[in-house]
């Protein structure tokens, strides 16, 4: 899942991004409304975590822009205002969910995951191909009956490949969906992670490299 965090307090934004990346999400940052609008026109995000009180272009305008464009991106609005009226206003602007500050990080993660499931065609509870499977709710992977210990990034990569249901997924698509703007497109990041995933899944190999195409299970 790729997430855009729009927050003008840079320390808070960095902390949120670090935590979400630890959860296996690809996270980009924007520190004002104009940058947020620019990024959503370039990249596809499942969820935008949007601070309402932004300098310059206000968060309300960003939210309206996404809603008016009928984007599939879901918006989770954050604000220090906690009254019922504030929440209603945020939802009326087109936000899909609303979380007052200060918030519990585990709740933020749960709400982002819930919105992410609504942003795209919902995944089944279990993704499987052959004897490789992922329990999407529990976020654990199996090869047959054996549980496979994966890093959050390896698990996100496996989910992406399994979700393609046999389709070839290019390295560029994997970089777009599993990593974020910090990833260098000219590195061997995807190849290296696929190699680690292959080794952990064991024999016989299940991830096929398609020349000049990408990868598939």
3-class secondary-structure state, position 163: helix
174, 217 contact by CB (below 8 A): no
Q: Answer whether the bond into residue 170 is a cis peptide, omega within 30°.
A: no
pLDDT greater than 90 at residue 54: no
- CA distances in angstroms from 9 to 116, 187, 192, listed in the order given: 24, 30, 34
Instruction: Note the pLDDT of residue 132.
Output: 93
pLDDT at position 141, please?
93
Sheet holding 47-51, edge to edge: 26-30, 2-6, 47-51, 74-79, 97-100
Instruction: Please give the pLDDT value at position 82.
Output: 62
Residue 91 has a pLDDT of 67
Burial class of residue 75 (count of CB atoms within 10 Å of its CB; 0-12, 13-18, 19+)? buried
CA distance 214 to 42: 22
Q: Are 216 and 168 in contact (CB under 8 A)?
A: yes
Whether the CB-CB separation of 77 and 59 falls below 8 Å is answered with yes
Task: Please name which of 97, 82, 113, 133 lies closest in space to residue 3, comparing C-alpha atoms.
Answer: 113
Question: What's the pLDDT score for residue 14?
Answer: 93
Residue pair 40/3 in contact (Cβ under 8 Å)? The answer is no
Beta strand spans in 163-211 (E): 208-210
Rounded CA separation 109/83 (Å): 23
Q: How confident is the model at residue 164, as a pLDDT?
A: 84
pLDDT by residue (tens digit) across 197-208?
A: 999 999 999 999
Each residue's pLDDT tens digit, 139-169? 899 999 999 999 888 998 999 899 888 889 8
The band of 209, judged by pLDDT with boundaries at 50, 70 and 90, is very high
pLDDT digits (tens, 9 = 90+) for 78-120: 887 666 666 666 567 778 888 888 889 999 999 998 888 775 5
Confidence of residue 181 (pLDDT cuts 50, 70, 90): low
- CA-to-CA dists, residue 29 to 5, 63, 155, 161, angstroms: 5, 16, 23, 26
Q: Take residue 158 and report the two structure tokens written for it.
A: 């496996």
Q: Looking at domain 126-216, which of 3.30.420.10, 1.10.10.10, 1.10.580.10, 3.90.1150.10 is its CATH number?
A: 1.10.10.10
Q: What is the CATH number of domain 2-119?
A: 3.40.50.2300
In the chain, where the domains are located: 2-119, 126-216
Cβ atoms of 78 and 97 within 8 Å: the answer is no
């Amino acid at each position: 899942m790729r997430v855009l965090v729009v927050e003008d307090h840079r320390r808070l934004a960095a902390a949120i991004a670090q935590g979400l990346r630890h959860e296996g999400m690809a996270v980009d940052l924007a520190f004002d409304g104009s940058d947020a609008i620019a990024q959503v026109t370039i990249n596809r995000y499942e969820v935008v975590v949007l601070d309402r009180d932004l300098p310059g272009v206000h968060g309300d305008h960003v939210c309206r822009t996404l809603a008016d464009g009928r984007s599939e991106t879901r918006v989770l609005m954050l604000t220090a205002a906690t009254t019922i009226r504030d929440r209603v206003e945020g939802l009326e602007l087109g936000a899909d969910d609303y979380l007052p500050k200060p918030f519990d990080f585990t709740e933020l993660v749960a709400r982002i995951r819930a919105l992410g499931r609504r942003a795209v065609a919902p995944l089944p509870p279990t993704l499987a191909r052959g004897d490789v499977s992922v329990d999407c709710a529990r976020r654990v992977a199996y090869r047959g009956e054996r549980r496979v210990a994966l890093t959050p990034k390896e698990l996100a990569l496996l989910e992406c490949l399994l979700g393609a249901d046999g389709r070839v997924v290019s390295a560029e698509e994997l970089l777009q969906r599993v990593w974020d703007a910090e990833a260098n497109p000219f590195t061997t990041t995807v190849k290296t992670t696929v190699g680690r995933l292959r080794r952990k899944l064991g024999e016989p190999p299940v991830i096929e490299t398609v020349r000049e195409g990408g990868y598939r299970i």
